[in-house]
Structure 1
Amino acid sequence: MRNRFALFVVGLLATTAPALAGETVLYGPAPKWAEVRDAAKIDAAANTPIALLDVQQRIEGETLRVYVDQALKLGSPESLTQSGTSSAVWMPDKGDLTVHRVEILRAGKVIDVLKGGARYQVLRRERGLEQRQIDGMLTATLAIPGLQVGDVVRIAYSQTMRDKALQGKVQIDSGLLTLPLEAGFARTSVSWPEGLAVKWQAGPAAGSPTESVKDGWHTVNVALPLAKREEMPQGVPSRFTRPPTLEATTFGSWEEVSRVFAPLYSTKDAIAPGSPLAAEVAKIEKQSADPLTRAALATRLVQDQVSYLLNGMAGGNYVPQAPSLTWTSRYGDCKAKSLLLLSLLEALGIKAEVVAVNSQTGDAVPESLPMPAAFDHVIVRAEIAGTTYWLDGTATGTRLQTLADVPPFRHALPIRAEGATLVAMEPRVPQAPMASVKITIDQRAGVEMPALISATPTFSGMLGSNLGAAFGQASEEQKKQMIKSLADSIFKDLTDDGGIITGGTTAFDSETGTATVTIEGMVISLFLDRDGTKRMDMRGLGSASASFDHDRSRANWKAIPVNLGRAERVREEIEVLLPADEPGFKLGGRAEYEATFAGTTVTRKGALEGQRFTISEERASLGGELPASEIPVEKAKALRLRNTVPFLVAPVTAARAWRYQQPALKARIAPIEAAYEKALARETGDAQSDPLARRADLRESVQDLDGALADWDKVIAMAPDAWTYGRRAFTKRQMGRWADAITDHREALKLAPSVSNAISLAGALGREGKTDEALALLTEYDDMGDEHTGVVLTRADILAFAGKGVDGLKEIDGLIEEKPGDTSLLNAACWYRARFRVDSDGMIKACNQAVERASNAAAVLDSRALAWLAQGNLQNALADVEAALKISPSQLASLYLRAWIGNAMGKPDAKADLAYFRKVAPGLVQDYARYGLK
């Protein structure tokens, strides 16, 4: 019953005939009861591919008769190809198919294709084999001869349908054409004898159907196309977005539907004594006397030992095959599996029954008319010790710990001999997490070093079982891609920069039905700059992204509830390892906390003990729906929860990256370097460029410039591009190798001729005394656009290097007059005066103005510190440097200034720091020597 048994579906534009029924294709005139549209009324000039779509349905006793008349305009070679072949697909046991006309309308003339002898060719094929479906359908095709672009092809046919499984009842569930699809003329109607008890409805948003009685026939007519559906907000229940349909049925109630299907699920003599199924029952009984355990074992038996295959032949849309046949053949659809499971449970002494559900739009079932077409699936409902269990034989991974989980079908119709009405499937929070993850973040190398990540996500239930099946069938390369996909998701939760993988494995435990993945990798430091400190936020916790921002602001949205999804339970555990010799880490936020928002309860527990922080968080949700009126309150709760997420603050004495060439700290990098080697070993070819580039970044940050340069050389050898040449040039500049840097800048500009690359090259050329070439390059690339400011500032530097500092200052001051609101230019003016010792009288005044209006205080204080040094004021310079480092403790230029000032003031540690800078940052030392700090 997986495929919704809609008795009539029109495949618009794809084919010229939809799914039909009959043993052979018959030919004859249209039925007398049908209202046939005159060819003269078909608007061949209409600006729509559908010139005509007329669907008329009639209920006569136990039979449904359908008449379809459609005309498609072939306005292009593509439509000629798409619609040049008419196809009909039908089941041979439901009735007859009669073709009334196949005509070509051309220039006011009608060409009768059937009169010319054309006939449909009947083929047998199973279109759903890839989806494990056998439906016994036949296919008839007709390549319509003589079609030309501009023709209108008109096909009319009728069908009689009677389903024995419905015990004389009839149902209709027809889709309705809706804008933006258009038609010259379109309608759908249904009629039945006056006095016959028929329920009907059209919707949602089906306009105003008309109802009439004429000559003893009751008719409902829906004019098409319907108006375009109103836009719906995000997160609405499916009943608000389901397509509009015309429904009609002779079923009087849900109880009648239940009674009609009850005989099909009789378990009498289903398991014969001494049969293979009886042996399976005995095995389960021997394993356990506990009814719950027996139910779990029976469900697992049906799920694992019987593959899914829909058999819709010989009435099989509704009629299940016998349990013995299902077990012998080891395949079956939801009906067959449910009847087999029901038989096993009853044999084990467990009260159970089959129920019909809708797996796609379960919340809309109560709005449907009582008929089988309201459902697309059947499962088993069991009662054990007063608790209801919903068991799906077509699912996978059901075990004792997940037996009580409730599938998100919302409503069910029990199939009983005495009949039953709809019952709500009350959700339950799962007993065990359907997904959990344990993450270890090893930050022992330091707060500015990459973090080593070990993650173990585990999945249970259907997800775990499906993953386990995927693991069992996957090649090693495919497993590698699975690990990568999951790792990327975890890394992205921790940091926007993602990470690299160093190792991983997959495993599946068939007894527990759990799939486990182990991931080893590395991300950038999770300690970020925050208010002058280094702080790690627990982004890996689900509450860090908690939100409930659903829009119901429009008037027609205010009564639409929010779909909260299915019931679920998930768990996260995070362990953070901190540097062993750096005490003083502090914990902020709320490590112990419990809150509920939008039906989800979050329970958090955590503690910082020594150099190890652990935290766990479990989220349990019932799912369901939330009234729109409660959105503001729940949104505020989610925000409050997000604001409580714990964080770690590093001590101000924590080691910074620039010091890592010292022997004691350099040893910390060894595990990081080893991880990079593992990452490189996992990749081949150009794929190695990403971990190499990341390692080059790390090596630059710890002032291992030779190592960084070696990595950039390898990256360029693999994937030379402008960005990489620019990065290598930057490394060479830090090493003081300006001539080599210029070569790389030239290559970057050659590969990507842009203003930014021109600025980089011009700045390097100017510093090395190539003034004319540098200025000419800036003139060539200055587009007076967004990067004009960078051009002017670079030109000022070039003039200063050429001994024309006053001229350069005029360039900057002129730029400030053009852009008085750009406070960064005030810092540029201060920095320029300080570096090139121009305008000594106005230097401090300009720097004070920059500090007062600074948007980046650390950078401006650094600039003014250099200005104070130019004025010979060591005390004020040191005060500004210290203030800058409180805001940005890793600002390398300020660190160097502090060492230089300290040395000038005779502080003993400063001389060692200066020697260290000369060793690890020669380019920086050279630059400041040119600025007068020798």
Structure 2
Amino acid sequence: MRFVSLCLAGVSSLAGAALLAVGPAQAGEDVLYAPPARWVEPYKDKDIDTAGKTPLALYDVQQRIESGVLSIYVDRAIKLDAPQALTQAGTSSAAWQPDKGDLIVHRVQILRGGQVIDVLAGGAKYTVLRRETQLEQRTLDGALTATLAVPGLQMGDVLRIAYTQTIHDPTLKGEVQLTNPLIAAPTEAGFAREIISWPKAEHVVWKTGPGTVAVKESEIAGDHRLTIALPLAKPEDMPEDAPVRYRRPSAIQAGTFRGWAEVSQIFAPLYDPKGTIAEGSALAGEVARIAGQSADPLTRAALATQLVQDQISYQMNGMATGNYVPQTPEQTWQLRYGDCKAKTYLLLALLDALQIAAEPVLVNSSASDAVPDLLPMPNAFDHVLVRATIAGGEYWLDGTSAGTRLANLGDTPGFRNGLPLRRAGAELMAIAPRVPRVPQARVALTFDERGGIDLPTLVTARASLSGAIGANLGAIVAQVSEKQKDEIIEKFAGSTLPNLVITGGSLSYDADSATAHIDVTGIQSGNWERQGVRKREDFGDLPSKDVTFNPDRARALWKDMPVNLGFASNQVTELTVLLPEDEDGYLLRGRPDLDMTFAGNRLQRTATLTDHRLHVVESVESLGGELPAGEIAAEKGKAARIANSAVFLLSPADAVRQWQLGLPEYRARIAPYEEAYAKAIAREPDDADAYLNRASFRWGTTDLAGALKDFDKAIELDPSAATYRRRALLKRVMGNFEAGLLDARKAFELDPSAQSARALAGVLGRTGKTQEALALIDEFDDYGEQHPSFVEVRADVLAYGGRAQDGLDAINALIEERPGQAYLYNSSCWFRARFKVGEDTMIDACNKAVEQSGMASAALDSRALAWLQLGDPGKAKADADAALALAPDQTSTRYFRAIALRRMGDGSGDSYIAYLAKIQPGQVRDFESYGLKP
């Protein structure tokens, strides 16, 4: 992260209804009223198209370079064809800096039909205000603002205003500069142009770009003139990952500077540090203090930079000649504030007193790659910093940034080019990037998964942010309230650990290392996904998992454009995963050791799995810069290889599953989770979601009574239909069907939707209220996308009401209506087996379900039940074994297998039958209703 002040205001640009200049001619604090100068070519009133549809009827900008003065003439006519336009144009305003020139108003006219109303002739005048418009950004620009509430405006009028602003900046030693963006389509104008002129004797260079701009050159009465018809054609779309020089808007530049060396020479004396720290002064005392702390010049440079960053607050000073002239180091120390110029000058003075060679360097904070394409002018830059030379090494020191310490002193700033300021002059220099020695961000994650692969993850995370971002966060930590700290912690957790239920967190700052720490603990949904009989865990929190590089250079115009790779960076992620200590057989897959590069990035990884503990460290180092278009394809391939190499874990086939956690030997695994959920609830005691999260966990780990208590509390806090539906289902699992019916009715009352109707109908049917259930289904089944779900509920309702054949007929009709949908065959098999209907073709339906199902484990489960109902426990056991090999967490399949064993004279499954009756009594009651009794 870069913390940069835009404190070198030097760009002449025109935009909107107001003009903010960078330095006028003779100091003038009053608005002047006079005709345009002789060099202006006024646009004739009669040529203004007042009947056209475009709101901008006239946009005429003419600029003049002469004898060290830039004069900017602007003539605009705006149609007031909407109430908003009338309101916005009702007050005219313009801003200028009186220490550098004048604001001269030529006309304020209302064009109404064929009538021209001269507002100034009617006595209206601009009111001059001194108004600092950017105080919240700590900016003082010294500008005056002239405002005029235009009297008599009506809808349909055309308001025409023309004025000139003169700019003469003594800092530039008689040189002149201008940069003006050129309006382009889709902006429309009745008439628009840009004219730049100068006496032929003046040395003026000019340039347009990027892209082709048609410029007409001519000589008129001893003047050289450039004319550009506007708006330009709509600029071509550019890829957002192209360097800025390709994406910046077209502009015209003109100036009298003869090269970068002249700019360097003019500005160098402004930063001469010699003699700026008086002997015996407070600043001299600071120099002595730094010198007394260390004799090492690197340490001294770091301490001096830290002093300027920490002790001098930022405030932009654009008053008087403050745009380019810094206040003295002594002034800055006394005021304890300053802009980038003042901070740089102070730092140069400190370094000079400490006998460290240093020089100021101008840079551009947002378009540094474009600087070599610009004309040599001061307004190519908006920031200044220090380049120090210590023991032959180059160090970039920025007093306006933050967090500089000895450890990161060698880091390079986020700029591509800079202009050293030297009395002898200097050319542009490229800033060679270096990978930061200290990671700017280090994230340490611990995932405690000792509860098992089916449970959530207990997360402990620490993000350590160093350098500027660390120091800035540290400043925030010292000032914000506890509530605001919690918001920062939640924002970090939301961006780094999605869906984390926070149980605790803190912010801290180590001033010695300029490192801020964000610590958070919480509970996150488990990441294990079924992979056959095993489960697999991928780690999206590791950088390698998100490696992508896919620049689009398909268009002909783009094919040769390089890719902007950003600036030098260094980030480290450390992941520790704690696995169940009483389970062996976890496997580490992927590439444990990796050192590969792609698109200017170097990704290194070490991963080890020992003693039920996975430890992974991944670092990503980047030099930034640009990638030539011809290398994109190769780098895409490298990125894909890295993404495919990501490490992951495979669980053992016999890992403890969630349904087993009700057994006494595994209950100890639950305690850490209960403690974590209790902390989450303590943080948000009035948040229903906190209780719902714990309810889901307790339900899944067989604590049905505990889950019910949490649902009760959640409904007390937020009686939503969704929570009533969930509690109704829980009560059914617990075997309390009548109580579940009450909750289903309440859910429907709160949310009479199709979802609530299906849930209510299902419970009504299970409790014998067949007709009411069928009536509800008839009312809400619209035969659309949800029709299959309604058919399945209808079939169950009919079966529970003694009409199983009617239910099967409904399912068969749906299969005929929607052939080829494999899940419907499983629905048919499952229904037939549960309600002992259609037995003559039951196995045919079940076979088709197994053959076509994308969820073979579910279809095998259904067929196992069918074999039991047909009196073939041996085949039922075989199907159950096959299903469990694919999905060992299917509790119903284990029950069917136990029943099959019992019918085969083997009582080894009896303990499971008793266990399931304890943890899912409602499901066992359903099984018993199908005739599956031990």
Q: Aligned letter for 1:928?
A: F
| Alignment partner, residue 683 of structure 1 | 684
Q: CA deviation at 1:36?
A: 0.8
SS of equivalent to 1:579: coil
Matched positions, count: 925
Question: Is residue 632 of structure 1 aligned with residue 636 of structure 2?
Answer: no
| Alignment partner, residue 734 of structure 1 | 733
Identity of aligned residues (%): 52
Question: Is residue 853 of structure 1 aligned with residue 865 of structure 2?
Answer: no
Question: Is residue 73 of structure 1 aligned with residue 79 of structure 2?
Answer: yes
Q: Aligned letter for 2:768?
A: G
Q: CA deviation at 1:812?
A: 1.4
Residues 202-227 of structure 1, C-alpha deviations (whole Å, 9 max, x = no match): 22235312111122111111211122
| Alignment partner, residue 101 of structure 1 | 107
Question: Is residue 352 of structure 1 aligned with residue 358 of structure 2?
Answer: yes
| Alignment partner, residue 693 of structure 2 | 694
SS of equivalent to 2:73: strand
1:634-653 to 2 correspondences below 5 Å: 634-653=635-654
Q: CA deviation at 1:899?
A: 2.5
1:264-663 to 2 correspondences below 5 Å: 264-492=270-498, 498-663=499-664
Distance verdict in 2 for CA 1:906–1:698, change over 3 Å: farther
Distance verdict in 2 for CA 1:42–1:149, change over 3 Å: same
**Higher alpha-carbon deviation: 38-47 or 900-909:** 900-909
Question: Is residue 9 of structure 1 aligned with residue 8 of structure 2?
Answer: no
Residues 118-159 of structure 1, C-alpha deviations (whole Å, 9 max, x = no match): 111111121121111111111111111111111111111112
Contact preservation (8 Å) 1:16, 1:83:
no
2: CA distance, partners of 1:258 / 1:634:
39
SS of equivalent to 1:664: helix
SS of equivalent to 1:833: helix
| Alignment partner, residue 233 of structure 2 | 227
Q: CA deviation at 1:246?
A: 1.2
Q: CA deviation at 1:749?
A: 2.4
2: CA distance, partners of 1:681 / 1:8:
58
Q: Aligned letter for 2:267?
A: F
2: CA distance, partners of 1:647 / 1:683:
34
1:179-194 to 2 correspondences below 5 Å: 179-194=185-200
Residues 37-63 of structure 1, C-alpha deviations (whole Å, 9 max, x = no match): 111211122222211110000111211
Q: CA deviation at 1:235?
A: 1.5
Q: Aligned letter for 2:289?
A: K
Residues 584-603 of structure 1, C-alpha deviations (whole Å, 9 max, x = no match): 22211122221111111111
| Alignment partner, residue 779 of structure 1 | 778
Distance verdict in 2 for CA 1:431–1:7, change over 3 Å: closer
Residues 460-511 of structure 1, C-alpha deviations (whole Å, 9 max, x = no match): 000000000000001011111111111222322xxxxx11111111111111
Contact preservation (8 Å) 2:10, 2:323:
no
Q: Aligned letter for 1:506?
A: L
Question: Is residue 918 of structure 1 aligned with residue 906 of structure 2?
Answer: no
TM-score, normalised to structure 2, is 0.97
2: CA distance, partners of 1:483 / 1:923:
42
| Alignment partner, residue 836 of structure 2 | 837
Runs of 5+ unmatched residues, structure 2: none
Residues 675-700 of structure 1, C-alpha deviations (whole Å, 9 max, x = no match): 11111111142xx2222111111111
| Alignment partner, residue 495 of structure 1 | none
Residues 214-272 of structure 1, C-alpha deviations (whole Å, 9 max, x = no match): 22111111211122221222322112221221110110111111111111111221122
SS of equivalent to 1:651: coil
TM-score, normalised to structure 1, is 0.97
Distance verdict in 2 for CA 1:772–1:733, change over 3 Å: same
1: CA distance, partners of 2:691 / 2:652:
31
Q: CA deviation at 1:111?
A: 0.7
1: CA distance, partners of 2:167 / 2:857:
81
**Higher alpha-carbon deviation: 720-729 or 541-550:** 720-729
2: CA distance, partners of 1:45 / 1:903:
94
1:742-757 to 2 correspondences below 5 Å: 742-757=741-756
1: CA distance, partners of 2:266 / 2:703:
80
SS of equivalent to 1:473: coil
Contact preservation (8 Å) 2:587, 2:650:
yes
Contact preservation (8 Å) 2:8, 2:324:
no
Q: CA deviation at 1:800?
A: 1.8
Residues 581-620 of structure 1, C-alpha deviations (whole Å, 9 max, x = no match): 1122221112222111111111111211112221111111
| Alignment partner, residue 139 of structure 2 | 133
Q: CA deviation at 1:548?
A: 0.6
Distance verdict in 2 for CA 1:753–1:4, change over 3 Å: farther
Q: CA deviation at 1:66?
A: 1.3
2: CA distance, partners of 1:235 / 1:752:
48
Contact preservation (8 Å) 1:103, 1:110:
yes
Q: Aligned letter for 1:755?
A: A
Residues 337-392 of structure 1, C-alpha deviations (whole Å, 9 max, x = no match): 11111111122121110000000111110111000010000000111122211111
Q: Aligned letter for 1:512?
A: S
Question: Is residue 239 of structure 1 aligned with residue 245 of structure 2?
Answer: yes
1: CA distance, partners of 2:898 / 2:563:
60
Contact preservation (8 Å) 2:856, 2:883:
yes
Q: CA deviation at 1:171?
A: 0.3
SS of equivalent to 2:697: helix
Distance verdict in 2 for CA 1:326–1:661, change over 3 Å: same
Contact preservation (8 Å) 1:234, 1:550:
no
Contact preservation (8 Å) 1:546, 1:642:
yes
Q: CA deviation at 1:6?
A: 4.8
Contact preservation (8 Å) 1:122, 1:140:
yes
Question: Is residue 795 of structure 1 aligned with residue 783 of structure 2?
Answer: no
Contact preservation (8 Å) 1:541, 1:617:
yes
Q: CA deviation at 1:919?
A: 1.1
Q: CA deviation at 1:17?
A: 5.5
Q: CA deviation at 1:16?
A: 5.5
Q: CA deviation at 1:18?
A: 5.3
1: CA distance, partners of 2:742 / 2:624:
61
